[in-house]
Structure 1
Amino acid sequence: MFSGLEDLPRRLVVALPATGKSVRLARETAEQIVTQWGISPGHPSVGPALLIVSELVTNTVRHAAVTCDNLTVLFAAGRDTFAFAVHDRHPYQPPLHAAAPGSGLATVTELTTDLGGTAVVRADGDGHGKTIWITLPL
């Protein structure tokens, strides 16, 4: 399915303030690019993708805003993959696959896994930030 961002021809990077308004902006952006990139809004991965984007941005606003003013949402897509990520400059790397049951990250992991996708946390090279990457099949 996904071997790397460089394999995905469509990409968009959006910088947002680490505030509550960014949750809605990130979700609306995701909805717009799905349409612009020709991905059917009714595709089984789209609804969960919108929820996951919202949850990841919410977590950044709640937990990382104390150390960073901004966050970045990255979107990419190819013929059979929709990938997106949320980056912040907080050093904590949450354990996605060991998230507390019922938590937002547990929901993210469950939705991603149920769709046959992947969820990974990648640390910044300097250890002072991270990106949570989600890939979903189309």
Structure 2
Amino acid sequence: MESRGSVPAHPLAYEGVWRFTAPTVEVSVPQSRQAVRDLLRRQCVPMGDDLLQGILLIVSELVTNAVKHAAVLSPEVVVEVTVVARGVRVCVEDDHPYRPQALETDWRQTGGRGLHLVREITREAGGSYAVEHTARGGKVVWVELPLTRC
């Protein structure tokens, strides 16, 4: 049963909000990626492999940034995944006030391009991306990607 347009009257089985914390250490990067992959698979979120891989790369890049740049002031990073019928939102929050910006970098270097990747994946998927301050003085970086059926 539907109400007002195409908004379901009841949430779909795969919809929900999941949140977990991890220490701001390097091992949290692959662990966060695995946790998000397992969550999306367990919930049977209808997405193609390209979207899944994009989300996992975004999680890796955002958690890596928190580990590299926020650990001094933020002993933990928070990862939140929200799935609704129309899309997936991934948020990575830490307690450091610095708002990351994509740096113009020498493409021959092996690092420094994480936010460029996040922006490009988001743009290609037709999504949105932002960095916001939190009430505690830290920041949350979020990406919303439209959910397309595979």
SS in 2 for 1:33: helix
Runs of 4+ aligned residues of structure 1 deviating over 6 Å after TM superposition are none
**Residue equivalent to 1:55:** 61
User: Residues 25-78 of structure 1: CA distance to partner in whole angstroms, max 9, x if unpaired?
Assistant: 110011111112212463431111000100000010000001111110001101
Distance 1:23 1:14 in 2: 13
Q: TM-score normalised to the size of structure 2?
A: 0.79
**Residue equivalent to 1:100:** 104
Distance 2:72 2:24 in 1: 9
Q: Give the fraction of aligned pairs with identical amino acids, expressed as a percent.
A: 33
Q: Superposed, which structure 2 residues align to 1:45-124 within 5 Å?
A: 45-95=51-101, 98-101=102-105, 103-124=113-134
Contact 1:71–1:88 (CA under 8 A) maintained in structure 2: yes
**Residue equivalent to 2:141:** 132
Alpha carbons of 1:80 and 1:44: their partners in 2 closer, same or farther (altered >3 Å)? farther
**Residue equivalent to 2:21:** 15
User: Residues 68-123 of structure 1: CA distance to partner in whole angstroms, max 9, x if unpaired?
Assistant: 1111000110112011110000010123xx54255111111111111101111010
SS in 2 for 1:119: strand
Distance 2:61 2:91 in 1: 11
Q: TM-score normalised to the size of structure 1?
A: 0.85
**Partner amino acid for 1:100?**
E
Contact 1:14–1:72 (CA under 8 A) maintained in structure 2: yes
Question: What residue ranges of structure 2 are gaps of 5+ in the alignment?
Answer: 1-10, 108-112
SS in 1 for 2:100: coil
Structure showing greater Rg = 2
